[in-house]
Amino acid sequence: GDSEIVITGALDGTIRVWDLGADVEEFKTGEKLRVLYALTGYKVWLGSVATDGRRLMSDGRDNAIIVHDFFGEQLEEGL
């Protein structure tokens, strides 16, 4: 089946994209839980995170919006 993902933000300034696996039971036991991406370097409070399935957008207290495009090589940052 298709994998499910979850996106988390942590106090260490890292956004992580987790692969939960296709089976809920495997997720509960941690058997298939793995980090697909760890995006580091966030130094200011993380406000929100959203995705459209292609890009991950985040904003923070510094009023910056960061866009990670997982199908291209470009990283956008703006105010």
pLDDT at 11 over 50: yes
Query: Identity (one letter) of the amino acid at 63?
Result: N
Distance CA 59, CA 53 (A): 17
DSSP 34: E
pLDDT at 21 over 50: yes
Task: Decide: 36 and 19 in contact? Cβ < 8 Å.
Answer: yes
Give the residue among 46, 53, 49, 77 at the shortest CA–CA distance from 64: 77
pLDDT at 40 over 70: yes
Give the residue among 56, 60, 61 at the shortest CA–CA distance from 76: 56
